[in-house]
Amino acid sequence: MLLIENGYMIDPKSGLEGNYDILIEGSRIRKIGRKLRESLTETEQEKCRVWDTRVSDIQVLDARGMLVAPGLVDVHVHFRDPGLTHKEDILTGAAAAARGGFTTVVLMANTKPVVDSEETLRYVLEKGRTTGIHVQSCATVTVGMQGRELVDMDALAAAGAAGFTDDGIPIMDPDIVRRAMEKAARLDMPVSFHEEDPGQIANNGVNRGRASEYYGIGGSPREAEISMVERDLQIALETGACIDIQHISSREAVELVRQAKKKGHNIHAEATPHHFTLTEEAAIQHGTLAKMNPPLREEEDRQAIIRGLADGTIDLIATDHAPHTAQEKAQDITKAPSGIIGLETALPLAITELVNGGYLTMKSVLKKMSTNPASMYRLDAGYLAEGGPADIILVDTEATQVFTEYLSRSSNSPFTGRELHGVVKATVCGGKVVYRYPKK
């Protein structure tokens, strides 16, 4: 058994918060209450008393001064496995996730080969089961991510796919999009969309504006996102499909989602920590370390994303964790790949920018990083309740840390060296401690 005591618990699903202990038996929560040690049998209490001498199998985590919350759920990560494991693999990605407080991740399918077959999906899921956290995976929407032919969505769903996405490559054929949404609606599974029209983009990864002018390149205009979001929201409303507008970056797209949500309940949108924290000025300052698709845009866009998070228009926070090697990122701005890592910095950025900034409560942040993404993907996660999963994090929200090293295999982040509030002190997944903050 595992006893977490003396912490301040927040369950974003029920709204319950306060000073509670949590008793875990196996992989589930046995009891939530106050002074739970006193409710144990004499034998169990004795085991707790001697745990510090490490002769007992009952572990006690003292959460005094800490926030106790559900394990976080990230529905947009790239672990590059199979095929690109020099950047990241499932084991190193899971270690980074655990450090960041994530007990469940949903992998994107743009690996090599892409996850468009039961064989590749099986490889990913089986390796994920060895990590200590819950590793789910999407399958692609189209064969080979070519945008021309739908995968066998029925077979991949039966094989364990959590959802479907061609993330990384927008699907340009509206007929394919409609057919995918119709099939996903029948399967009651989400489809996630990368919304950028490549026909409108000269050089992706950098906003068409001050950043593109600085580098003397064409850049990516906001219209490339707006047009795709508008199209896919309309199809989603017509089909009733559950969709996720991924890594939203423009104020116009936020407003389109806001209006669509008034007409349909299956519309979801996600914001990344980098899009609610940074603007295109970071691309000028940090170069390729702040190059991503869609790009960082203007301050008005950043503020619109924060307002969307605050009013529920944007109901998910997802990292788009995208590892690349230092050699790849050292290339010219037009040649370096887009994307940054984000699993280890996501919660500290949310605490620093959103909670400490006065925009969102801690409970709201947790809901967007655990309960809501779990609900969209129909996962048993993102809440704290008796009988529920023992996926729990202990966070010192007042402590600060400066990121200089990462558990991810890659280190491509514009947040390196920045002091952030919020330190994950322990991550529990399936009733087992899978990460402890190192003692100094």
Catalytic residues: 320
Instruction: Give CA separation, 135 vs 78, 94, 102, in Å.
Output: 11, 8, 10
Q: Given the DSSP bridges, would you call strands 67-70 and 392-402 parallel, antiparallel or unpaired?
A: antiparallel
Is 10 in contact with 68 (CB distance < 8 Å)? yes
d(CA 22, CA 349): 27
Is 72 in contact with 100 (CB distance < 8 Å)? yes
What is the CA angle 269-369-99, rounded to 5?
135
- State whether the Cα torsion 83-270-135-291 is positive or negative: positive
* 195 contact partners, CB below 8 Å, separation of at least 6: 170, 225, 228, 229, 232, 245, 246, 248, 253, 294
Is 133 in contact with 94 (CB distance < 8 Å)? yes
Q: Which amino acid is at 137?
A: S
Which stretch of DSSP H or E encloses residue 282? helix 280-286
- Written as six digits, the tokens of 89 are 């693999």
* CA-based nearest residue to 88, from 403, 411, 435, 336: 411
Which stretch of DSSP H or E encloses residue 87? none
Q: Give the chain's end-to-end CA distance (angstroms, integer).
A: 27
Instruction: Give CA separation, 286 vs 274, 282, 329, 403, in Å.
Output: 13, 6, 11, 16
Residue carrying structure tokens 């900034």? 357
d(CA 298, CA 376): 29
Q: Which amino acid is at 387?
A: G
- Written as six digits, the tokens of 185 are 């609606």
